[in-house]
Structure 1
């Protein structure tokens, strides 16, 4: 299906920004580039006719300090969606601050000493666990895991529906599609799920800027373990979405459960089944011909021999 003029121009501009080495590509995110864990997939999408990515994040663990205007964690997350980048700016809107961001599982194997994990996330390691005074209006520190998010601009409603269906089938249940009105729409598909996301307050900032822990380091290690496990699930869902979008898999029923089967394997299986059915039909036809021939012979009236 041919591109419309608007889509062609928008894709050209986007690709011109992405078609640079990682060290030269910059955007408004803390990392400053498309995440390494998703860049190959982004390139595959952008090679498809009628598709181009406008923003992406492979999934991340983030520790965020609220801004001075008391913006909540949810508001900070909403800011991320408004940006044409892979994450939010390092300072955050409203004066917030990213204390830690990783698009890979957190390696805690080298953080075995007391206080090291707290320090990694910007918290004073030598402070006892405490809570802010009731009359205080502190800025809280949030530990959160966010799964893969991807925005894809498409050249037609048909392409948009295909991307949306692939996302939903892969487990990205909160995916959506918009900009579908008009005679020649360019739908945008937001690929996302909230099923893997979670957040927890782990610390607060005092009036003089000190960040004090509200949870123990043992509890913090448990949060990290949960996040690392969800990285694995996130990677699995992302791969399922990739294969569905690129048409590498088809879903077939095997018994009551069903399973994923590679397209080339399915083609070979279907060909073998077709040959087998053909042979069965041919065998049945030959058997039927033999029965009919025998029946005709048995029913033939032989003349009586003379005495």
Structure 2
């Protein structure tokens, strides 16, 4: 069986399985993105979360919470209010922690170049301890402040999901156009090869290179096709 056929079989098996997440379905805010990826032959999603606010209670060492060994006091994919957190905190017996987790998207890719399109990291999270051994360690005023921050992060997370979807869609459209015009790939690769060959020839001849040319050559690592998912300043 060739690799392409094996990947298609693996994808079909994975997408046919029941959703084993706590919710049992794909989050509304990420459903369109999941559909976009699963509709392309080179991708399929294995798990996803649109972003959530959590209140966890469990035994921790050094404030490192292991979610599989703790109690989920509260989880929401929408903005959270203080009253819900206060009520949930009354159930805490250990060390409760409030967390905001941004978009989580696990994707299986057919080739390395497919994975490079999706290579995105984020530090847009929040994790704060609220109680110790069942005793609340912060004021309600501080909980108000934390929830305001978490809710703001939730709104920003939604904007980032939309921006990611639009940029990914654009990148995949560009990739499809390039696939329909294979000569474009050859031209880009030849141009890149010619520039590097010229650079090597100039170095061999001991030709002086200006600072401006140095900068251009240092950035000349184009493998032939380059796709940028996020605009500058994302």
Aligned pairs for 1:185-196 within 5 A: 193-194=122-123, 196=124
Structure 2: unaligned runs, 5 residues or longer: 174-234
How far does residue 38 in structure 1 lie from its aligned partner after superposition?
Answer: 1.2
Deviations 1:49-107 (A, max 9, x none): 2111111111110011124xx3565452xxxxxxxxxxxxxxx433x101000111114
How far does residue 152 in structure 1 lie from its aligned partner after superposition?
Answer: 1.0
Which residue is equivalent to 1:102?
76
TM-score, normalisation: structure 1 = 0.50
- Over 3 Å counting, the alpha-carbon distance change for 1:74 and 1:240 in structure 2 is farther
What is the alpha-carbon distance in structure 2 between the residues aligned to residue 214 and residue 46 of structure 1?
Answer: 45
- 1:31 paired with 2:23, answer yes
Which residue is equivalent to 1:230?
153
- 1:65 paired with 2:57, answer yes
Q: Secondary structure at the match of 2:37?
A: helix
Q: Secondary structure at the match of 1:98?
A: strand
Which residue is equivalent to 1:82?
none
Aligned pairs for 1:41-120 within 5 A: 41-67=33-59, 70=60, 74-76=64-66, 92-94=67-69, 96-107=70-81, 111=83, 117-119=85-87
Do 2:55 and 2:85's aligned partners in 1 also have CA atoms closer than 8 Å?
A: no
What is the alpha-carbon distance in structure 1 between the residues aligned to residue 129 and residue 140 of structure 2?
Answer: 13
Which residue is equivalent to 2:5?
5
What is the alpha-carbon distance in structure 1 between the residues aligned to residue 161 and residue 11 of structure 2?
Answer: 23
What is the aligned-residue RMSD (CA, Å)? 2.7
Q: How many equivalent residue pairs?
A: 172
Larger radius of gyration: 1
Structure 1: unaligned runs, 5 residues or longer: 18-24, 77-91, 126-137, 168-173, 175-192, 206-210, 251-307
- Over 3 Å counting, the alpha-carbon distance change for 1:55 and 1:124 in structure 2 is closer
Which residue is equivalent to 1:197?
125
What is the alpha-carbon distance in structure 1 between the residues aligned to residue 55 and residue 85 of structure 2?
Answer: 12
TM-score, normalisation: structure 2 = 0.65
Do 1:243 and 1:249's aligned partners in 2 also have CA atoms closer than 8 Å?
A: no
What is the alpha-carbon distance in structure 2 between the residues aligned to residue 248 and residue 157 of structure 1?
Answer: 16
Deviations 1:201-225 (A, max 9, x none): 11123xxxxx331111111111111
Which residue is equivalent to 2:202?
none
- Over 3 Å counting, the alpha-carbon distance change for 1:214 and 1:158 in structure 2 is same
